[in-house]
A and B are shown apart, each in its own frame.
Chain A
Amino acid sequence: MSEIAAKAPTKAPTKAAAKPARRRLLASRLVPYLLLQALIAIVTILGLRQLQPSDPEDFALSDFSAREDGLIRPVTLPHFTSSRYSLADPPFYTGAFTFPGGDAASGWSVYLPRFSNAVEVAVNGVVVLDSRRDANANRPDRNTPQIAAIPASLLREGGNEITVRLFVWGPLKGFLDTVYVGPDVALRPAYETRTLLFVTLPVVFSAWQAILAVILAIMWLMRRHEPVYGVLAAAMVLGVVQAFAPPPVPPAATSRLAAVLLASAPIESALIVVFGVLFFGWRWPRYGTLLFVPGIVVFVVGLIGGPPLPRILFLVLGIPTVGLCLVLMACITATAVLRRQDAASFTIGCAVTIVLTCWIQDMLTVLEIVSNDRIFVSRLSYSAMLVAIGAGLTWRFARALNQVDSFAGQLVTRVREAEERLKASFAREEERARAAALANERTRLMRDLHDGLGGQLVSIVALSERGHEGAMITDAARAALKDLRLVIDSMDDIGGDLMLALGSWRERTTAQLRPHDITLDWRVATPQGVPLHPELRPWHVIQIVRILDEAVTNAVKHAQARRIAVTIDTFDAGRGPYGVISVTDDGHGFAPAGNGEAARNGQTARGLRNMKSRAARCGAVLDLSSDSSGTRVRLQLPQRFPDSDMAAG
């Protein structure tokens, strides 16, 4: 999928001449985007204001006397204490509230909406709440509220004393928000609202993050060439561990676990930057690995050093790293939005803006520039950003599936189109080939008729006109008929089996020789006769049969043979089988062409020349030997008959 994402940037115009236009285009995209992000930031801030849970002010206790470092002074809650690293002698707040006593039936509670880092609350000297036992309540990044019922027996009608010991472990300052004491019915809804927002919601987000981590890890395992999924899965796993592992209360701490939890935030944010870079199809720059250094430093120091040091490091190193990463991420997404203008980069960009706004808000809170009762929202918004990223990935995945679908659809359509074009062109080609074959066949037929029948009919006419005796005319007419039959016969599809043509020829020749009292010996040496020739065409057959006819005619007319033997055999000289047809007679022979006597027998000489040229035209070799004891015509067929007439014209 990253390939698909990577394609978009290359579409940007690269020509130098296009530069101003491109700049204008980028500006026209950047300005609306930045305006939108500013709007989002404002909406976020306003939203956070709105989010501020309202507490039941009727039961607020704000005036306390605080004893800190031996000094007692009156304070108004919310109150910040100095940062400290020791749990011994914590700041001690003493306040008073009035219990009307009338409706003792409804229980009273003490409700602390926000404190940092832990509290121990006592009413009239009896401890009713110790938040150090609640793992979630100890996390400074969660705004966990606490509520505790005050046993009725402790309450005195009239003035009561409430004391709060605030345990602080640096480097952040201690904080105690207004304390509420009143009927449980009045306090409980406010507590529930805060619990929902700051305890349950993070758990829900973390659970979802865990599921997403599993899905992304599976995706990465199946598609190793796309590390983007693996990076995001790692970030999410870290987040989940950070969210669910209970942070230890400092004195009892295994400092290593604390180190891991502290290091998680900078490493997570660095991973998110890596994800951003990979997601938008860019190469991860080598120096980019430096982003991981702060997290690793925090981690290593946490492993080696004592408890306060990693936390100080986290504050000065980890938190700025998170901010830096967020700013980087914002730049990356802004660039991606400019180049790609797609929904995924847009969604992630907005999410990053929200997280960044929340982070800035948190920083301002920590630095006490903004007073908002010290509610940290970075973690929460970060989880929300992961949800957005998850949505973005799912969107991209679905889009990729759609692309695959439409690609497959297009492929099917294209293949069908190509098939149809092919079919059409094949049909055209076939039609053309058929027309060509028909024309060829017509030419051949004309030539064959001209060679045989035409000439014979002309000689019949000539003989009749000169008043010749019937016998010569009969001969000529019979020859014409024979030739007509040969031409018709050769049109038949014999499937490359020359033997089928030779069978008909034997029949005709036997009938022709019977009146002359000449025996035709027919010997086929092998069961199948001559080899099959799939390339055999009618014109080959005609040439071969005419050669054989000529040989027989010579034997009858000029050699006065009594016996004609036809031998059909197959030989194989190692280069494939070939057929040989021999016509042998017992006549008195004739002198082969070239001899002086040949002139006497001009017709025979012409016949021989004809035979040779016919044989050459279909690639066959004709051997002729003749002496007084007989004539032998040996026709050696080619292994493959030529496609075109070798001596056409």
Chain B
Amino acid sequence: MTEQGETGDMITILLVEDDAPTCWRLQDALAKAGYEVRSAGTLGEARAALAGGAPRVLLTDLRLPDGHGIELIREMRQRFPDTEIMVISALGDEESVISAITVGATGYLLKDAFPTDIATTVRDLVAGHSPISASIARFIVRRTQGAAQNSAEPPPGPALNTARLTPREIDILWGIAKGFSYAEIASHLGLSKQTVPGHIKNIYRKLEVHTRSEAVFEAVQQGLIKL
């Protein structure tokens, strides 16, 4: 948190993307913004790149030729807890994004985002602001509702533990899902605008399942698995 990288020269990014044009596009946008970008096309290359040290930010695609990005994210969270992780997604669909969030990613970056938006997103991420999209917020709050209504039958889609979210955090998610800005949410809920990103960071942390055994424990707690 000390490196508020306005200059960006000390911020390193590891970009894992197998589609070359997309990779170039993102790399260009980030390099222009002054970040130091290393790119990898496969899981193997990404692991090799990590041998040289931890990046500040990991941007990874999920479907890779030699494996799944989820594995990389999980490894990253264990080896380098300080690294910020984002998923690169073509559509931003909750199926892939939510599963990435549960292993430690915070948000996603659309592959076709405008270059300025790409740079802004990464800058916000490094500054400690974890962006959350309306559709992801919607998925999470729908899931909290579903869990309250019938816990007997697990809802479709990736497993997600929403049990630890506080009512305030759920209210914030509702606001985001309905398209309100942080300022609007803050005024609706009687919060200071600056505290909203912190809440969102907390939400990400609570949604993350740290280990496999913990995942099982959480699932039992929520009644997703019956022993």
| A522 lies within 8 A of chain B by Cβ | yes
Q: Per-position contact with B for A475-508: 1 when CB-CB < 8 Å, else 0?
A: 0001001001100110011110101101111110
Contacts of B134 in A (CB 8 A): 500, 503-504, 506-507
**Residues of A within 8 A of B (CB-CB), count:** 26
Flag if A504 contacts B112 (CB, 8 Å).
Answer: no
* Shortest CB distance A342–B (Å): 55
B180 at the interface (CB under 8 A from A): yes
Q: Is B19 an interface residue (CB 8 A)?
A: no
How far apart sit A212 and B145, CA to CA, in the bound complex (Å)? 68
Residue of A nearest to B179 (CB): A503
- By the criterion CB–CB under 8 Å, are A514 and B178 in contact? no
Task: List the A side residues contacting B114 at CB < 8 Å.
Answer: 511, 514-515
Interface size class of B (residues with CB under 8 A): 20 to 34
User: Does A527 sit at the interface, judged by CB under 8 A?
Assistant: yes
Are the CB atoms of A522 and B179 closer together than 8 Å?
yes
Judge whether A505 and B113 touch: CB under 8 Å. no
Does A529 interact with chain B (Cβ within 8 Å)? yes
Partner of B180 from the list A485, A503, A514, A515 (CB cut-off 8 Å) is: A503
Contact: A524 with B91, CB < 8 Å? no
Q: Which of B123-156 contact A (CB under 8 A)?
A: 133-135, 137-139, 142, 145
Question: B33 → chain A, closest Cβ, in Å?
Answer: 15
| Contact, CB under 8 Å: B135 / A529 | no
Query: Do A504 and B142 contact each other (CB < 8 Å), given the known contacts A484-B91, A485-B92, A511-B117?
Result: no
Is B22 an interface residue when CB atoms closer than 8 A count as contact? no
List which A66-90 residues lie within 8 A (CB) of chain B: none
Which residues of B sit under 8 angstroms from A505, Cβ to Cβ?
179
Measured CA separation A286–B163 after assembly (Å): 82
- Is B101 at the interface (CB under 8 A from chain A)? no
CA distance A163 to B55 in the complex (A): 145
Contact A514 B179, CB 8 Å, known A484-B91, A493-B142, A495-B142:
no
Q: How far is the CA of A616 from the CA of B180 in the complex (A)?
A: 28
B102-123 contacts to A, CB under 8 A, are: 112-114, 116-117
Q: From B136, which residue of chain A is reached at the shortest CB distance?
A: A504
* Given A492-B138, A504-B135, also A524-B116 (CB < 8 A): no
* Residues of the A chain whose Cβ atoms lie less than 8 Å from the Cβ of B180: 503, 522, 524
Q: How far is the CA of A505 from the CA of B137 in the complex (A)?
A: 13
Q: How far is the CB of A509 from chain B (nearest CB, A)?
A: 10
Report which of B93, B116, B176 forms a contact with A488, defined as CB distance below 8 A. B93
Question: B residues within 8 A CB of A494?
Answer: 138, 142
B135 and A489 contacting across the interface, CB-CB below 8 Å: yes
Contacts of A484 in B (CB 8 A): 91
Inside 8 A of A481's CB, which chain B residues have their CB?
90, 112
Query: Which residue of A503, A522, A524 contacts B138 across the interface (Cβ within 8 Å)?
Result: A503
CA distance A497 to B181 in the complex (A): 18
Instruction: Check: B177 CB closer than 8 A to any chain A CB.
Output: yes
Q: How far is the CB of A618 from chain B (nearest CB, A)?
A: 20
Task: Enumerate chain A residues within 8 angstroms of B116, measured Cβ to Cβ.
Answer: 514-515
A484 to B134, CA, bound (A): 17
Of A503, A511, A514, the contact of B176 (CB 8 Å cutoff): A503
In chain A, positions 348-402 with a C-beta closer than 8 Å to chain B are: none
The reply to whether A502 and B178 contact each other, CB–CB distance below 8 Å, is yes
The listed residue with most A CB atoms (<10 A of its CB), out of B93, B117, B178, is B178
**A529, B117: Cβ atoms closer than 8 Å:** no
Among residues of B, the one whose C-beta sits closest to the C-beta of A481 is B112
CB neighbors of A among B168-182 (8 A): 176-181
Bound CA span A506–B180, Å: 9
Among residues of B, the one whose C-beta sits closest to the C-beta of A495 is B142
Within 8 Å of chain A (Cβ to Cβ): is B188?
yes
CB pair B142–A507 under 8 Å, yes or no, is: no
Q: How far is the CA of A361 from the CA of B146 in the complex (A)?
A: 90
Give Cα A503–Cα B137 distance, bound, in whole angstroms.
Answer: 10
Q: Is the CB of B178 within 8 A of A485?
A: no
Given A488-B91, A495-B145, check contact A503 B178 (CB 8 Å): yes
Q: Which residue of B lies closest to A509 (CB)?
A: B179
- Interface contact B188-A527, CB-CB below 8 Å: yes
Alpha-carbon separation in the docked complex, A494 to B116 (Å) = 31
Nearest-CB distance from B223 to chain A (Å)? 21
Q: Is there contact, CB below 8 Å, between A492 and B139? A: yes
Is the Cβ of A500 less than 8 Å from the Cβ of B93?
no
Question: Across the interface, which residues of A come within 8 angstroms of B176, CB to CB?
Answer: 503
Give the nearest-CB partner of A566 in chain B.
Answer: B179
A332 vs chain B, min Cβ distance (A):
66
User: Considering the chains assembled together, what is the distance between the CA atoms of A495 and B177 in angstroms?
Assistant: 13
Contacts of A497 in B (CB 8 A): 178
A495-B145, A511-B113, A514-B114 are known contacts. Are A504 and B91 too (CB-CB below 8 A)? no
User: Contacts A484-B91, A485-B92, A511-B113 given: A499-B145 contact, CB under 8 Å?
Assistant: no
A468 to B9: give the CA distance in the assembly, Å.
Answer: 38
Q: Which residues of B contact A493 (CB under 8 A)?
A: 142
Most buried by B among A499, A503, A506: A503
Nearest neighbor of B111 in chain A, beta-carbon distance: A481
Please provide the chain B residues from 189 to 204 with a CB less than 8 Å away from any CB of chain A in the complex. Answer: none
Q: Which of A488, A492, A502 contacts B179 (CB 8 A)?
A: A502
Q: How far is the CB of A477 from chain B (nearest CB, A)?
A: 8
| Cα–Cα, bound, A514→B114 (Å) | 9
Contact of A506 among B92, B93, B145, B179 (CB under 8 A): B179
| Chain A proximity of B37: nearest CB distance (Å) | 22
Q: Which residue of A lies closest to B156 (CB)?
A: A493
C-alpha gap A522/B188 in the complex (Å)? 15
Q: Are B178 and A500 in contact (CB under 8 A)?
A: yes
Q: What is the minimal beta-carbon distance from B124 to any residue of chain A, in angstroms?
A: 14
**Across-interface contacts of A527 in B (CB, < 8 A):** 188
The B-contacting residues of A in range 440-485, CB under 8 angstroms, are 478, 481, 484-485
Q: Which residues of B contact A514 (CB under 8 A)?
A: 114, 116-117
A502 to B145, CA, bound (A): 19
Query: How many whole Å from A532's CB to the nearest CB in chain B?
Result: 12
Given A494-B142, A503-B176, 18 more pairs with CB closer than 8 A: A481-B112, A484-B91, A488-B91, A488-B93, A489-B135, A494-B138, A495-B145, A499-B178, A500-B178, A502-B179, A503-B137, A503-B177, A505-B179, A507-B134, A514-B116, A515-B114, A522-B180, A524-B178
What is the interface of chain A, defined by CB distance below 8 A to chain B? 478, 481, 484-485, 488-489, 492-495, 497, 499-500, 502-507, 511, 514-515, 522, 524, 527, 529
User: What is the interface of chain B, defined by CB distance below 8 A to chain A?
Assistant: 90-94, 112-114, 116-117, 133-135, 137-139, 142, 145, 176-181, 188
A and B contact pairs by CB, cutoff 8 A, 19 listed: A478-B112, A485-B92, A488-B91, A488-B93, A493-B142, A495-B142, A503-B137, A505-B179, A506-B134, A506-B179, A507-B133, A507-B179, A511-B114, A514-B114, A514-B116, A515-B114, A515-B116, A522-B181, A529-B178
10 closest residue pairs by CB, A with B: A503-B179, A506-B179, A503-B134, A499-B178, A504-B134, A503-B178, A507-B134, A500-B138, A504-B135, A503-B177
